[in-house]
Amino acid sequence: MFLSATCLAGVFFTLGVTATSSLDPRWQADTRGNTDPTPTVDKSRFVSTDGANFQVNDSNFRFIGTNAYWLPALNTDEDIDAVLSNISHSNITVVRLWAFNDVSTIPENGTWFQLLANGTTSVNLNETNGLPKLDRPSLQIISMAEKHGIYLLMTLTNNWNPMPHDNITNTTNTPMLRRDVATNNSLPRNSLSSDYGGMDGTYQAEQITQTIIAAFENYTTQIVSRYVNSTSVLSWEIANDPRCNSSIGATPSCNTNTITRWHDRIATKIKSIDPNHLVSSGTQGFFCADCPKIFQRTPAPPAGPSPAANSRRQRKAVPLTNKRILEERKEARKKTRALQIQSQSPSGVKVRGKWVATPTRRQEAVGMGSAFDGSTGVDSEDILNIPNIGFGSFQLFPDQNQYAPDDPNLPAFNNTLQAGLDWIQRHGESSQMFGKPVTLTGFGLVTQDNAPSFVPFNSTVAPFANDQIGNLTSDLGRLPFGVTDQQRDDAYTQWLQQGILSGLGGMIQYQWGQGNLTAVNGTPITPAITENGIVPVQSQNGISPSDGYSIAGVGQEAVQATLQGAAQQFVPDA
C-alpha cells in the first residue's frame, strides 16, 4: 500500500502537537545586526504585499532571484560568503534554498538538519553541520551594503526523493540510498535537489504512524519559530512542487481539494507561529479552471495600477476558462500558420542548434493537458486564493512538463519558447485577477553541456549521462539532448522580459553555479570527478552540485548578464 506523502503530511494537523524548541539566543533577535536583546521589530522591514505588489520599507519590491538549494550544505563559511557575494554582484536580491536536510543515519561528513530514526526525530543544533548553518546566509547579508541585501525564500520540504521505487520500505532505520545517476556511479548525498529528504524520506525512513506524520509540523514549527524575527526571510515556502503523486504513487482519493486544504492548514499553522513573514506554496503552478473550488474567487481590489498596467503585451485579466484556453490556442496556430506560409523560403525555417522533445516530457496532442486539467492535484488559483497564502508561485521546466500542445507550424525550440511566454503571461493574469503577487520560483532549460547531469524529477537515472550517449546518439541516430547555450540565453532573456511586462512580483532562475569551493569527501562538494565525466572539471577545487541546470562553466557570464539586465529594470527611477 502506498499512501501519498503529501496527504499524510496533511493529516498531521488533526493531532495538535506543539513542539518546544531550544533557540540559540543570538537568533531570537533581528538577525540583521540588531544586538538589542529585546528588539522592537520594525514591521515595515519584513516583505509584505499590497495588492499585486510586494512591499519592503513601504516601497514596491520586485526581484530577480536564483536557486541554490545546496547553499547551506557548503563546507565553509567563506564559501557561503563567496557565493552570496557573487550572486549579489549580479544584482540578484533573492535566493531560494532548501531549509531542510533529513537523514536516517548520521552521516560521517557533511550537513544534516533532522534525524528521522527509530520512530523519533531530532533536530541537529550543532554549529558546524546543523541547523545553525542556515543562520549564516543572514550573517552574510549584514556584511553587505544595506541597500543590496539578499532575501531568502526558505523551502520547508520537498515532494521528491531520490529513492528508487523498489527501495521504498516502511521498515525502521532503512538507510536512504542515493539515486544512481549513471551506471556504476553514485552521487554523494545532497548532490541532487531531490536528495535532502522531504515528504517521501519521512515516509520511507519510518513506520507510518501518527508520530512521523507529526514530524513534519514539528520541524516546521521549530524552524519557523527560530527565524520569526529575521528580516532576511522573504517567505516560508511550504514545499517544493507539492502534488498528489511524488516519487511514490498517490492515494486514489487525492484531488485538487486535498492539496488546497493541505496548503490551507499548513499556511494557517505557520501564520499562527510567525505573523511576520509571508507564506507561499511552491507548486509548479498548474491550473484547473473547471475544478471545484474551496475558496471562492474574490475580485481583485481596484488598488493601485499593477506594475504592467500600461503594457501592450499584457492582456486584460479575465477569469480562466477551458473554453478560452482552447480558443486562444487555436488563434495562435492560425497566426503561426499564416506566418509560415508568408515566410516560406527554399531553406525553410532555420533554428540554431538542435532541440528534441524527449521521452521525459509527456506528449499531449489533445485535451487541456496536465498543466491545465487538475490531474496533478494542483489548482494554483484556488491555492492563491487561500487567505494565509501571501503570494502565488509557479515554475517553468519545459524539459519536465508540457505546458501546451506543440504547434506543428513551429520548430521545437520555438514551441518551448512560446509555451513559456504564454505560461508566464497567464500567471501574470492570475496575479491581477486575485490581487496578490505571483512569483516564478524556478525556471530553466537543460543545455547540451548540462545534459549528462540532468536527472528528471521522477527518474532514478540521468538519461543522457555520458556512458549512455553512444547508445542514444550513434546507435539510434538520436540528436543530442538539450538546447544550445545560445538558445538558453535567448529563452531566458525573453521569459524574463515577459515576466517583467506581465507584472510578476519576482523571477527566480534555476540554478546558480559556483566553482572554487572547498571539497570534502562525503559532501556534495567533492574533489573533482574525472573518470565518468558527471562533473565538468574546471579546477581541482569543488564545484556546486547540478541536477542539469547549473550555470557553472562555459556560458556562466552570459546567464549572469541576462539576470543582471533584468534585475536592473527593477531599480527605482532607472
Ligand X SMILES: *[C@@H]1O[C@H](CO)[C@@H](O)[C@H](O)[C@H]1NC(C)=O
- DSSP state, residue 474: I
- 33 touching ligand X, by CB under 6 A: no
Element (H, E) at 151: strand 151-155
- 253 touching ligand X, by CB under 6 A: no
* Closer to ligand X by Cβ: residue 317 or 534: 534
- DSSP state, residue 305: P
Which residue is associated with the grid cell 574533489? 527
The residue among 176, 276, 169, 186 whose CA lies nearest residue 229 is: 276
- 535 touching ligand X, by CB under 6 A: no
- The residue from 44, 57, 59, 173 that contacts ligand X (CB under 6 A) is 173
The residue among 510, 471, 298 whose CA lies nearest residue 393 is: 510
- 347 touching ligand X, by CB under 6 A: no
Instruction: State the Cα torsion 445-450-456-461 to the nearest 10°.
Output: 170
* Closer to ligand X by Cβ: residue 242 or 437: 242
Q: Can you tell me the distance from the alpha carbon of 521 to that of 107, in angstroms, rounded to the nearest whole number?
A: 11
- Residues that bind ligand X (rule: CB under 6 A) add up to a total of 59
* Closer to ligand X by Cβ: residue 225 or 532: 225
Instruction: Pinpoint the alpha helices (H) of 459-555.
Output: 466-470, 485-501
- Inter-residue contact 339 to 251 (CB < 8 Å): no
- The residue from 247, 260, 416, 432 that contacts ligand X (CB under 6 A) is 247
Q: Residues 287 to 346: which contact ligand X by CB under 6 A?
A: none
Span interacting with ligand X, options 133-141, 222-230, 384-392, 503-511, rule CB under 6 A: 222-230
In total, the chain counts a number of residues equal to 574
- 34 touching ligand X, by CB under 6 A: no
Q: Can you tell me the distance from the alpha carbon of 196 to that of 175, in angstroms, rounded to the nearest whole number?
A: 13
Lookup: cell for 162: 531520490
- The residue from 11, 82, 117, 461 that contacts ligand X (CB under 6 A) is 117
- 85 touching ligand X, by CB under 6 A: no
- 245 touching ligand X, by CB under 6 A: yes
* Closer to ligand X by Cβ: residue 255 or 414: 414
Which residue's Cβ lies closest to ligand X? 515
- Inter-residue contact 48 to 39 (CB < 8 Å): no
Count of Cβ atoms closer than 10 Å to residue 362 Cβ: 12
- 214 touching ligand X, by CB under 6 A: yes
Span interacting with ligand X, options 118-126, 197-205, 367-375, 398-406, rule CB under 6 A: 118-126
**Shortest Å distance, C-beta 178 to ligand X:** 10
Count of Cβ atoms closer than 10 Å to residue 124 Cβ: 18
Count of Cβ atoms closer than 10 Å to residue 507 Cβ: 27
Would you call 171 exposed, middle or buried from its count of C-beta atoms within 10 A (0-12, 13-18, 19+)?
A: exposed
- 146 touching ligand X, by CB under 6 A: no
- The residue from 150, 248, 500, 566 that contacts ligand X (CB under 6 A) is 248
- 410 touching ligand X, by CB under 6 A: yes
- 119 touching ligand X, by CB under 6 A: no
Q: Residues 461 to 480: which contact ligand X by CB under 6 A?
A: 468, 471
Span interacting with ligand X, options 16-24, 94-102, 234-242, 284-292, rule CB under 6 A: 16-24
Element (H, E) at 210: helix 210-226
Phi, psi of 187 (to 5 degrees): -70, 150
- 518 touching ligand X, by CB under 6 A: no
Span interacting with ligand X, options 158-166, 234-242, 314-322, 426-434, rule CB under 6 A: 158-166
* Closer to ligand X by Cβ: residue 435 or 513: 513
**Shortest Å distance, C-beta 153 to ligand X:** 19
Phi, psi of 177 (to 5 degrees): -80, 150
Q: Can you tell me the distance from the alpha carbon of 524 to that of 124, in angstroms, rounded to the nearest whole number?
A: 19
* Closer to ligand X by Cβ: residue 108 or 531: 108
The residue among 543, 557, 534 whose CA lies nearest residue 513 is: 543
Element (H, E) at 185: strand 185-186
Binding residues (CB under 6 A) for ligand X: these are: 1, 17, 19, 23, 28, 39-41, 89, 91, 105, 108-109, 117-118, 120-123, 126, 128-129, 148, 164-167, 170, 173, 177, 208, 211, 214-215, 218, 225, 228-229, 245, 247-249, 349, 351, 410, 414, 458, 468, 471, 490, 515-516, 520-522, 538-539, 568, 571
